[in-house]
A and B are shown apart, each in its own frame.
Chain A
Amino acid sequence: MKVAFFPGCVSKGACPELYVSANLIAEPLGLELHELTQAPCTGAGVLSEQNPELADALNGLTLAMAEAEGADLMTICSTCQGVLSNHNYKFAHDEARLERANATIADQGFRYGGTTKVKHLLWMLFEDIGEDRIRAAIKRKLTGLKIAPFYGCYILRPVESLGLKERPERKGYLERLITMLGAEAVEYKGATKCCGFPMITFNRDKALAMGGNHIIEAKEKGADLLVTPCPLCHLNLDGQQPDAARVLKKDIGVPIFHLPQLLGLAFGFEPDQLRLNHHVVSTKGALEKVELKV
């Protein structure tokens, strides 16, 4: 299945392991990735806040590029998903707004007709690829692992633009996937909460406490690792975890996996191929539970 692939800035910046593993799992899932190499950053909500017209034009351009590819746009980042969904929703409900964005990108030879569907890989797994195909790709059951899902705000809220009113089941895909892969999904409050990343530059210690509290809660419920579909959550939960532990004066030491890394392990790829050796928090303990090494 052909998809217009929007990897997002972070997968090509501070989380290269996400980009690598997403490319690896595409083949077993039957995904043909057509990367939108010329598409700009979504602005992560920061640009929409200060200059909505600019964010409309930039995201309108990306949506138009996917439309020209004739395929659904696939993200691997909850934040990219949230921002693109939000602009797409506003365009669908406000024709004048879409026309203003189109007037801006027309100079560059683009026009958005409003037909692109924006879907995170997590949604595509259940809505387009299908459980049968996923099951067929599994070569290594992750039995014995207790995995805590961590969604990230922008794949859950606001519900209208993300289509969660029509498809409330999207709120449970991570748990379903974890179980399908043979592992046990840990139930805890933090799964749907904020990692603190949007606040990290404004109020560092509070942002670290926010993310750290959720990991500690998952750990107390027995989690060996957290899995997230959002690289910004990953930056806060993995990259900043030692600092969060210092702020909260607690040991944490829980590895955070990107969604494609977890899939990759189940599909038989080796931890090094998935760059599980390039995390701030060691993945060693969790991998040993499924008899793997980094």
Chain B
Amino acid sequence: MQFTIEVGRYNSEGIYADTAVPGRSFPPPWDKSPERRYQTYTVELPEHAVVLDALIAIREYQDPSLAVRCACRSAICGSCAMWINGHANLACKSKLAAFTNDGKTRVESPPSMPLIRDLVCDMTPFWEKHLAVKPWLENKEPIPPANEEYRVPNAAMDELIQEVSCISCSACLMDCESFAVNPDFLGPQALAQAYRYVGDPRDDKTKERLAELSKPGGIWDCTHCYECVTQCPKGVAPLDQILKLRKLAVDAGFTNNAGTRHADAFASSVKHSGRLNELTLLPLSTGIFNIIGQLKTLPSAFNMARAGKLPPLIHKAIPGVERIRKIFQRVGGRFK
């Protein structure tokens, strides 16, 4: 079967705009990425071929100058994550036939990562974030003697199978929308790894980890867009792990942040009226004593009021709100 592949190239054909330089600062916002140019190749491969088969065929038989990073070809090593038709995927796991749109497949280095050449991006930001969450166990006492295993109940590890499945391919970070505008955000992979250690019964630094993760750049800087869940080739579902961390952090008392204030204000509004009171949500989330934060929201509030888009000043409860209050009481827990 014949497949047409468009490859985003940095070098020989003058591909990428002149402004692009290797190792440029990262990440450029989506819209500012240099206008890419693509080199088109045609390859003859069986119907079941994957994108990586095509790239290797191009490199071996058509154009030895093509740079592509790969190793295991079995979705285990995590080397070949790249943008395929505008989203991060493993080239070795993506069937060409499934990724052919209008007769072609487009592959390129993700614009959110610094570029080295062609399909090879610089993984430095990924590894920096990964290391920042201290992805190793800090053993809890009593530590077994050196020649013995540190054993835990099987059920405790069952909870962590999803996170342990991560192969560090960076597909989640490549498509992370928060990372695209905020290079300081730890990102989905590092945070999912953080949960892997926070959730491990052998780890002694749970509280310290949660304190660190509650700081700016951590769990509250995720925008909840589910891109990481969609792109992860191993089912790690990083966002789900971030949400678990948020709950654990709040339960552990790390509540002096906009995220917790937002959840509390949200719950209080629903409990008292059955619905959201947008008029009080923003100021309460920002923090009543955060004068600078409050001032920053004023121009938008003013614009909305002028357009007649301010929520009603008297916030009415839904009919039958008593029912909602009783449900809050009955469930108990946080927000009761």
A residues engaging B (CB < 8 A)?
9-10, 12-17, 37-41, 43-47, 49-51, 53-54, 57-58, 61, 104-105, 107-108, 153-154, 156-159, 189-190, 193-194, 196, 198-204, 206-207, 209-210, 213-214, 216-217, 220, 239-240, 242-243, 246, 278-280
C-alpha gap A131/B233 in the complex (Å):
36
Q: Are A194 and B177 within 8 A (Cβ)?
A: yes
Q: Are A108 and B303 within 8 A (Cβ)?
A: no
Q: Closest CB-CB distance, B335 to chain A, in whole Å?
A: 6
B residues engaging A (CB < 8 A)?
29-32, 86, 177-178, 180-182, 216, 220-227, 229-230, 243, 246-247, 250, 257-259, 261-263, 266-267, 269-270, 274-279, 281-282, 285-286, 293, 296-297, 299-300, 303-304, 306-312, 318-320, 323-324, 326-328, 330-331, 333-335
Q: Are B282 and A201 within 8 A (Cβ)?
A: yes
Q: Pick the contact of B267 from A50, A220, A243 — CB < 8 Å? A: A50
Q: Are A15 and B309 within 8 A (Cβ)?
A: yes
Q: Are B225 and A194 within 8 A (Cβ)?
A: yes
With A41-B270, A43-B270, A50-B334 already in contact, 6 other A-B pairs whose C-beta atoms are closer than 8 Å? A40-B324, A158-B230, A198-B224, A199-B178, A210-B178, A214-B31
Q: Are B247 and A49 within 8 A (Cβ)?
A: yes
Chain A residues in 8 Å Cβ range of B267: 43, 46-47, 50-51, 54
Closest A residue to B328 using CB positions: A54
Q: Closest CB-CB distance, B26 to chain A, in whole Å?
A: 15
From known contacts A194-B177, A206-B181, A242-B299, infer whether A280 and B31 are also in contact, taking CB-CB under 8 Å. no
C-alpha gap A105/B32 in the complex (Å):
50
Chain B residues in 8 Å Cβ range of A40: 270, 274-275, 318, 324
Q: Are A105 and B327 within 8 A (Cβ)?
A: yes
Q: Are B333 and A189 within 8 A (Cβ)?
A: no
Q: Are B328 and A13 within 8 A (Cβ)?
A: no
Closest B residue to A220 using CB positions: B31
Q: Are A279 and B263 within 8 A (Cβ)?
A: no
C-alpha gap A94/B29 in the complex (Å):
40
Chain A residues in 8 Å Cβ range of B224: 45, 153, 194, 198-199
Q: Pick the contact of B308 from A38, A108, A189, A278 — CB < 8 Å? A: A278
Q: Pick the contact of B246 from A50, A201, A206 — CB < 8 Å? A: A50
Q: Are A206 and B178 within 8 A (Cβ)?
A: yes
From known contacts A202-B262, A203-B221, infer whether A107 and B326 are also in contact, taking CB-CB under 8 Å. yes
A–B Cβ pairs within 8 angstroms, 9 of them:
A38-B323, A46-B262, A49-B243, A58-B327, A199-B223, A206-B182, A213-B32, A279-B309, A280-B304
Q: Pick the contact of B263 from A46, A57, A61 — CB < 8 Å? A: A46
Q: Are B304 and A239 within 8 A (Cβ)?
A: yes
Main secondary structure of the interface of B (DSSP, over half): helix
Q: Closest CB-CB distance, A237 to chain B, in whole Å?
A: 12
Closest A residue to B301 using CB positions: A239
Q: Are A51 and B220 within 8 A (Cβ)?
A: no
How many A-B contacts are there with CB distance less than 8 Å? 199
Chain A residues in 8 Å Cβ range of B309: 14-17, 239, 278-280
Q: Closest CB-CB distance, A34 to chain B, in whole Å?
A: 14
Chain B residues in 8 Å Cβ range of A240: 300
Chain A residues in 8 Å Cβ range of B177: 193-194, 210
Q: Are B220 and A202 within 8 A (Cβ)?
A: yes
Q: Are A108 and B327 within 8 A (Cβ)?
A: yes
Chain A residues in 8 Å Cβ range of B223: 194, 196, 198-199, 207, 210
Q: Are A216 and B225 within 8 A (Cβ)?
A: no
C-alpha gap A10/B32 in the complex (Å):
32
Q: Are B311 and A13 within 8 A (Cβ)?
A: yes
Closest B residue to A188 using CB positions: B31
Q: Are B304 and A12 within 8 A (Cβ)?
A: no
Q: Are B286 and A10 within 8 A (Cβ)?
A: no
From known contacts A201-B282, A209-B29, infer whether A50 and B320 are also in contact, taking CB-CB under 8 Å. no
Closest B residue to A246 using CB positions: B299
From known contacts A43-B270, A49-B247, A50-B247, infer whether A280 and B307 are also in contact, taking CB-CB under 8 Å. yes
Closest B residue to A279 using CB positions: B307
Chain A residues in 8 Å Cβ range of B282: 200-201
Q: Are B180 and A38 within 8 A (Cβ)?
A: no
Q: Closest CB-CB distance, B254 to chain A, in whole Å?
A: 13
Chain A residues in 8 Å Cβ range of B257: 202
C-alpha gap A108/B329 in the complex (Å):
13
Q: Are B311 and A14 within 8 A (Cβ)?
A: yes
Q: Closest CB-CB distance, B187 to chain A, in whole Å?
A: 13
Q: Are A209 and B181 within 8 A (Cβ)?
A: yes
Q: Pick the contact of B285 from A45, A50, A201 — CB < 8 Å? A: A201
Q: Are A202 and B258 within 8 A (Cβ)?
A: yes
Chain B residues in 8 Å Cβ range of A216: 31
Chain A residues in 8 Å Cβ range of B330: 57, 104, 107
Chain A residues in 8 Å Cβ range of B263: 46-47, 49-50
Q: Are A210 and B180 within 8 A (Cβ)?
A: yes
Closest A residue to B225 using CB positions: A194
Q: Are B246 and A157 within 8 A (Cβ)?
A: no
Closest B residue to A154 using CB positions: B226
Q: Pick the contact of B266 from A12, A46, A154, A242 — CB < 8 Å? A: A46
C-alpha gap A19/B334 in the complex (Å):
32
C-alpha gap A44/B299 in the complex (Å):
25
Q: Which 7 A-B pairs have CB atoms at the shortest separation, nearest pair first? A: A157-B226, A194-B225, A201-B285, A9-B276, A13-B311, A217-B31, A38-B320
From known contacts A40-B275, A46-B266, A201-B258, infer whether A157 and B229 are also in contact, taking CB-CB under 8 Å. yes
Q: Pick the contact of A202 from B221, B247, B303 — CB < 8 Å? A: B221
Q: Closest CB-CB distance, A156 to chain B, in whole Å?
A: 8
